[in-house]
Amino acid sequence: MPLTAQVKILRALQEGEIEAVGTEKTQKIDVRIISATNQSIEELIKENRFREDLYYRINVISIRIPPLKERAEDIRVTAKFLLRKITQRTGKRVVSFSDAVMHFFMHYDWPGNVRELENVIESAVHLTNTEMLELEDLPDHMQQSLYISKEVMGLKEIISRAEKQAIIHAIQKSNGDKIKAADLLGISKSSFYEKIKRYDLSQ
């Protein structure tokens, strides 16, 4: 925020009045200020980029919200909320995240916090052709992180993802004929249908 704007805000808070642009007439105000920042105000004050008097004027009650990487338990509910918000706005039907995507979200550092999470989900929603977001739907700039995440995911998750992709490929190659798809994979029909149900590929 420019220092000139800081002076105006400080004056308005101290005097309880403002002067509209283009006029010399003052107007009384009765407001409360709610402000947020992702920077250290103390450091900005030391660098003379933020007025110390304004800081103490607005810093009546201070609440620190930990970064997203320190709130892993919030990531799942936040991601689901953002997905609903984005799909309502875009009109695209995407209803869930794969277990692999959610696992990746839970272990990613999220340097951009909730804003980055929202951008990633919105990009994936535009890229996907299914109702469930998969790892391959994530933006290109995150693909490198997937190699790191595989070390975290564990063997079970990696195998599950590969198995699901193999089933999808077999169904596509057999033009939707599930019996042929099972033959292509070399597994029994009962085993194939069990996996179809497990990975929610019945549609």
Query: CA 149, 155, 158 angle in degrees (round to 5)?
Result: 60
Question: Alpha helices, DSSP H only, in the chain?
Answer: 3-15, 41-46, 52-58, 72-90, 99-107, 113-127, 140-153, 155-173, 178-185, 189-198
Q: What is the pLDDT of residues 172-193, one digit of tens each?
A: 888 888 899 888 888 888 888 8
Distance CA 33, CA 53 (A): 15
**Mean pLDDT score, 134-157:** 68
According to the model, what pLDDT value does residue 69 have? 83
Question: Residues 6 or more apart from 156 whose CB is under 8 A from it?
Answer: none
Which band of pLDDT confidence, cut at 50, 70 and 90, is reported for residue 171?
confident
Q: What is the pLDDT of residues 86-107, one digit of tens each?
A: 999 999 999 999 888 888 888 8
- Contact indicator for 97, 165 with CB cutoff of 8 Å: no
* Amino acid found at 69: K
Assigned CATH for 68-198? 1.10.8.60
Distance CA 87, CA 105 (A): 19
The residue ranges of every structural domain in the chain are 3-58, 68-198
Distance CA 197, CA 91 (A): 27
Put simply, whether the predicted model's pTM sits higher than 0.75 gets the answer no
Question: Residues 6 or more apart from 30 whose CB is under 8 A from it?
Answer: 16
